[in-house]
Each structure stands twice: as C-alpha cells, then as structure tokens.
Amino acid sequence: MVDGASSGVFADCVAIECYCDTRHAEALGRKGQMTSGQIDTRAANAEPSRRVRRRLPRWSELRPLLKRRKLILNPVERRLAKTLTIDDLRSAARRRVPQPVFDYVDGAAETETSLARARDAFLDLEFRPRILRDVAEVDTTVDVLGMPSALPLVLAPTGFTRMMHHGGETAVARAAARAGIPYTLSTMGTTSIEDLRREEPHGRHWFQLYLWRDRSASEALIDRAKQVGIDTLVLTVDTPIGGARLRDVRNGFTIPPTLTLKTLANISRYPSWWLNLMTTEPLEFASLQSWNGTVEELVSKMFDPRVTFEDLRWLRDQWGGKLVVKGIQRVDDACRAVDYGADGIVLSNHGGRQLDRASTPLDLLPDVTKALGQRAEVFIDTGITSGADLVAARALGASAGMIGRGYLYGLMAGGERGVDRALQILYDEAARTLRLLGVNRIEDVDPDQVLLRRPGGSAAAKDTAGVKGRHPDSVGPSPTAQVRS
C-alpha cells in the first residue's frame, strides 16, 4: 500500500516528458521563396518544440471521484429504483407477467388508433413558461368535487386488477390513500366494495357502475356503495356493447388463465406470477359472485344498449352523493349530461378500448370546459402518462386527469410499492413542470401557458394504426376474453 504522503512524492518524482521535434528549420530550407499574393503558412506549420508535463494523480484527488452505488438487496426495490418514468414501469411490467396479461392492460380496440391519437395529442402540445418567478415552493394540491387532492389525479377504474398482481385493488387503494388522491373501484373489480373499505378505511373511494339490464342488480350495488361510505359514483356510458380487443383474441385470453400446453410452457418463464395466482383467492368478479359464464355473456347481461338520458335521471334520483358520467365524447353530450344531474363528466374514449378512431379527449377539453363553465367539473381520461400531462390538462380547464394503465404498470412491476413508485413519478414530474413554467400553485396555471398545436383537433391527428407501447388510461372488461368458473 502507498499512503497519501508517499503517493504524493511518488507522483512528483515520476514525470513523463514528451518532445515534439518539428524540425522547422529543415522544412523552411526545403521551401522556396513565396510568390506574390501567397499566404505564408510556414510559421504556423513549423511550431517550436513543446513539452507536456504529465504525472500520476494523487489518491486525495481520485478519492472524491469514486462513488459507491448503494447496494439494494430487495429485488423489487432494486427493480423500481431503475424506473424514472411511467414508460420505464411499463417496460418492467412487461418482463414480470405473461404476455396475455400484459396485453390485456396495454392493448386497445381494433387498430388501436384511438389509443395512439390520445397520446399524440399530449405529445404535440406546447408549454409556454414565464420567467423570473420565485418557484422555490410549489403546491400541486387541487379541489376535486369539494375535497382536496394532492394531485389533479384520480385513479381510474380497472377490471380484473388481481390478475395483474395478487395485491389487486387493495394495494392500489392503499397507495392512493398514502398519496392523498381518490381511487375508483370498478364493478368489474376482483375486490368487493366492503372488502376494500375494510382493508383501507381511510382513503377516498369512488365506485364505477354500469347500468345493467336488470335494474334491481344495479340498485343493489348502489345500496352497497352507500352503506360503506362511497362519496362519488362514476357511471360509465360508452359501453352499449364491448369493443373488439384483438390482442386478447389473438392471445386466447381467459379469466382465470387456462392450463394448456402453451400455458404450462409460460409458467416456466413467470413462476412467481403463477405461484401467486394459484395460492391466493380465486379470481372472480367480486361484485358478481354468482356469475358463471364467459365475458361475452356477462357483457350481454350487464351492458344495456337501451340506456338513455332518462336512465341517468333515474340514477340521479337513486344516488344522493356526487355523480360523475364517464365516456363523454361530444360537447353537446357533456352539456346534456349535466342537465340531467351530473356533478362532473369525464372526457374519455375508454382508453381506446371501445370505438376505434373515436374523439380524442384532449382536443375536446377546451370546448367542453367553455360550454359548461362552472356548472360541473370536467375530468379527462386517456393519453395521460406524466405529471406534465396532468399540469397541461389542468391548464386547459380539467379539474383532474384519470389514469389507469399508468398505475397498473407499477402494480405489475412491483405490487403496492410499484403503485407508490408510479404516483411518486407523477408527482415529481408535475412539481418540476410547475417550476419550469414559473408557477407556484397548480391552481394558478392557465390556458395561456399551454398551446394545442393540432389545428382541427382529432380529425387532424396522425392515423398511427396498431402502434404498440402507447399508454391510454382506462382499462375495462374485454368482451373477447373468456371467463372460466
């Protein structure tokens, strides 16, 4: 070993000298006289000899440059530590679950054009920051339907959540409660309203409802939501029938997964996922415990293609809490939903999972908020993958955005901690965006700071058909998947 003092002496004593002999005199002798008008470059080409002194660096100089990376022993924490964006979580999720499960979350209807356009709309907008503002402190808190939310964000309803990770809806609800944002439980969830409230009694929980052909079944769910203290009911209205989720068809997707030769081969690649699936409670629709059939049959029973605005009026009479209508894709429908009693509306094309080439929610947002004024709150779903997207939506008039896929990627990548990571990423991005925009409070961001650069709205968007890897943000049931009892 060489200590610090001796290494310094050693470094001073050991020097390497480099000599460069250009032999400029000899070169000049070979050259003739310059003719008139020529530039004499001989002096530049014939530089004198230079000596560069080199030495070995001292240990005291190297030591500050040597940084040890923190050793993370827990594999989940190690995996999540590498994720910096929602897209990173998506990549991690893809490696953790079987392809049919990932594609159920990631995919959309038919050519997936609605999905691609929704994301492109956010990518194409332009921020216009203000400078020389004091942004040492920023506040991302907003009011959502009369209560504070730490971000302009509501976690959207997603079906079959325990299929993505055995922690399921309860894990998501706990993460949402810690983050201080609302979580929406789906009718197609794998955890009941009662179990969710028992496992996480402190969070703010919404409940998503489909109006069934059997109104008595709908009434029973509404009563259960009242009894456990749900404060907001979300009625989904863009599902007269189910959309064509072609990835699910090609994958032969079933719930629960069937044991075929292909499945057995898949088990070897994802042993922990299969172990958790087989050793925890069976996958079932918690709100439909007596159901025994395929998803197509369930869709035919549950989704009523005869639902009209009069049914919305009926629901308003049944429900005394906040009522939000999800699936609005036109300005006139937004106004009419409010006329029939909605406290809020969600601009959504169901994450691109229903009608392909449907309206792009972000393109609708300015016109809808202008038409509604202060009559109701406007939410936006589909296409949001970052905290910057949430800030942009807020600037254009939305009370909050809804995200489904984003937190499901976190759930698949790391369970409850993965959802925590997804929400932390969104918060960090939102706070950073506010500072760079020159805004202290997210409530103060305004339309002058965001420009939609797509004249003509969704009709002018690029038709990027079949693009995989996009991230629209609501996950609902797939009518093409089979449910096995």
Catalytic (active-site) positions: 350
Q: Cβ(129)–Cβ(432) under 8 Å?
A: no
Task: Give backbone dihedrals phi and psi of 289, rounded to 5 degrees, phi first.
Answer: -65, -20
CA dihedral sign of residues 205, 209, 215, 217:
negative
CA dihedral 157, 163, 168, 172 (to 10 degrees): -50
CA distance 456 to 360: 11
| DSSP state letter for 100 | H
Q: Which residues contact 331 (CB under 8 A, 6 or more apart)?
A: 364, 367, 368, 371
H-helix or E-strand spanning residue 451: strand 450-451
Q: What are phi and psi of 6, to 5 degrees?
A: -65, -30
Amino acid in position 55: R
DSSP assignment string, 191-224: S-HHHHHHH--SS-EEEEE---SSHHHHHHHHHH
Q: Is the dihedral of CA 67, 68, 74, 75 positive or negative?
A: positive
The residue assigned the tokens 């929400």 is 423
Nearest residue to 349 (alpha-carbon basis) of 302, 402, 395: 402
CA atoms within 13 A on the CB side of 429: 20
Specify whether the CB–CB gap between 104 and 162 falls below 8 A.
no
State the sign of the Cα–Cα–Cα–Cα dihedral 305, 307, 309, 310: positive
DSSP assignment of 245-276: -HHHHHHT-EESPP--HHHHHHHTTSHHHHHH
